[in-house]
Structure 1
Amino acid sequence: MLESSVQITTTDPSRLIRRLCKHWSHKFEVTYDDRHGSIPFGSGHCELRADEGRLTAEVRAEDPAQLEKLETVVADHLQRMAADETFSFDWKRRA
């Protein structure tokens, strides 16, 4: 399993977790609260964690193409959910 993570600075990480998880709850069996979110995609998995002023997103997938796709999908959706903030995504991959 391949893994990648990113940390973004945000004024309300809990809000992003709630919005992203609610958005995908019609397609996947997500779980979330104000500090943590879990999204089981068919091709991988995403974990979200809120800390003071920061959101950490971790994605896992079986192959590099799936991992790259999840990075893009999660980043795009987080940016859309943010409304008035602009993020920079610097994914760090782990084997």
Structure 2
Amino acid sequence: MQQLAKHWSHKLEVRFDAEEATVAFPNGTRVEMRADSETLDCALTVPDGEDAERMRGVVEEHLDRFAFREGPLTFDWRDS
């Protein structure tokens, strides 16, 4: 999570520490991540009119890339 947050911080608004990260995308999408020893929970907020599936794909692709040693990752997206 920290490695991904650092990567995104070069182009996006990012706040992070050892346990949590928040990333704000230019299209208004926001992803909040919380890590513990076993899981990484992500809350993805996508504004009306934006493509939620595409943004899920962006997050998944980047998480897979930065967590390749822990892979394969599984994703269980749920609508709230």
TM-score band w.r.t. shorter chain: 0.7 to 0.9
The one-character-per-residue Cα deviations of 1:39-93 (angstroms, maximum 9, x if unpaired) are: 0011200000012311101110113652211111001100110122211112101
* Percent identical: 35
Higher-strand-fraction structure:
1
Letter in 2 for 1:83: F
The match for 1:51 is 36
The alignment status of 1:86 with 2:78, answered yes or no, reads: no
Q: Displaced runs of 4+ in structure 1, greater than 2 A?
A: 63-66
RMSD: 1.3
**Aligned partners of 1:60, 1:76: CA distance in 2, in Å?**
17
Higher relative contact order, chain-length normalized (CA < 8 Å, sep 6+) = 1
Which residue is equivalent to 1:70? 55
Give the structure-2-normalised TM-score. 0.88
The normalised TM-score by structure 1 is 0.75
Query: Residue type matched to 2:75 in 1?
Result: F
Residue 48 to residue 74, structure 1, CA distance change in 2 (3 Å) = same
13, 16, 21: which one aligns with 1:37: 21
Unaligned runs of 5+ in 1: 1-16
